[in-house]
Amino acid sequence: MVGACAAWFPGVTGEAAASPTDPRPAAGCPSLRAGDTITRSVTVGGVHRTYRIHVPADHTGGQRLPLVLAFHGRAERGVTFERYTGLSSLPAIIVYPDGLRGTDDRTAWQGAPYSSPRADDIAFTRAILGAMRTSACVDRNRTYAVGRSNGGGLVAMLACRMPREFTGFATISAAIYTRTVQGCSHGPPISLVDFHGTADGVIHYGGGTRFHARYLSTPAWLRTWSTRAGCPDTTMTIPLNSVVDRVSWPFCALSGHAIVHYRIRGGTHRWPGSMGNGVLGSAADTVSATQLLWQFFMTHPLYGSS
């Protein structure tokens, strides 16, 4: 289960403190009020879009906070995603965008075969980033994108098309349709943390076809980024417990980036360590994706200017 704020990551405080911060002074920067959870809207390409913002209760406005954009799965909304992931427990400003209703009348993100033809979620993301950077004390050098399932597919698209706007990316049970990452073989490297269960019956670990469209296997998705970062194929596997392995490419560090994968043996299509989202006690619930992705984000610095 996702822990409380006081129990984020024992033992990694020193590493987190070493992460770079925005060099600009926070004094006088615009800021949302501490503890606020508000909904804002923006028009993108003539389409009305909404997103939910959560500000930590202890935010004083005296420092720039990390910014996390969190993209829900198909048929969900931001408020649901916030509830079961526990991301709002993190010491960051979290934004939960809402997808548009797709061709099956369920919310979805650009790139999926069922997404709305009116969805321009790349432009929507750019609009959110612009708004947050002018209305809140956020740190451009610590800006991250997180997504589950169809939301993970959108994060894949952002990694391909907007790599310099984010410091790191996290994909969980990601539905990465091949058309989502077309043209993604070239470009700057990124830092990525990925989670996927080997028994995922919705988006199979080994890839497959869904809604008459091909989606990538987890190894193929990871290989996209290890190749772009120029990492040798050598991997290191460390068991976290009896069902979860941490797989990394140790020589990626030479490029200043990191690729890490949490392989959950027997894990299904769910957020690891989810709060109130289905049956507890599964293989996925032996770790917390929220805690692990935050540890990854706080120990991997800025790629380049944003």
| Residue 276: predicted pLDDT | 58
Identify which has the larger pLDDT, 171 or 229: 171
Give burial (CB, 10 Å; 0-12/13-18/19+) of 232: exposed
pLDDT digits (tens, 9 = 90+) for 233-265: 899 999 999 999 999 998 887 778 899 999 999
For the cut 60, the answer to whether the pLDDT of residue 28 exceeds it is no
For the cut 50, the answer to whether the pLDDT of residue 11 exceeds it is no
Max Cα–Cα distance, the chain, nearest Å = 53
Closest CA relative to residue 196, chosen from 257, 141, 132, 148 = 148
Q: Is residue 119 part of a domain?
A: yes
Q: Is residue 21 part of a domain?
A: no
- Write down the mean pLDDT value for the chain: 87
pLDDT digits (tens, 9 = 90+) for 274-288: 875 444 456 778 999
Cα–Cα distance between 91 and 123 in angstroms, integer?
27
- Encoded tokens for 224: 């996209």
**Which of these ranges, 29-38, 136-145, 214-223, has the smallest mean pLDDT?**
29-38
- Structural domain including 157 reads 35-298
pLDDT digits (tens, 9 = 90+) for 137-152: 999 999 999 999 999 9
Can you give the CATH number for the domain in which 136 is found? Answer: 3.40.50.1820
Work out how many domains the chain is built from and give that number.
Answer: 1
Whole-Å CA distances, 15 to 4, 24, 296: 20, 22, 10
pLDDT digits (tens, 9 = 90+) for 74-87: 999 999 999 999 99
Q: Is residue 57 part of a domain?
A: yes
Q: Is residue 60 part of a domain?
A: yes
Q: Is residue 147 part of a domain?
A: yes
33: confidence class by pLDDT, cuts 50, 70, 90:
confident
User: Quick one: how far is CA 79 from the chain centroid?
Assistant: 16
Enumerate residues 6+ apart whose C-beta is below 8 A from 153.
Answer: 109, 111, 112, 147, 174, 175, 176, 177, 180, 215
| Residue 250: predicted pLDDT | 87
Whole-Å CA distances, 281 to 115, 246, 250: 32, 20, 31
Identify which has the larger pLDDT, 68 or 301: 68
| Residue 68: predicted pLDDT | 98
Q: Is residue 286 part of a domain?
A: yes
| Measured CA angle at 229 (ends 97, 23), to 5 deg | 60
Q: Is residue 86 part of a domain?
A: yes
Identify which has the larger pLDDT, 185 or 64: 64
Q: Is residue 169 part of a domain?
A: yes
Q: 173, 152 in Cβ contact below 8 A?
A: yes
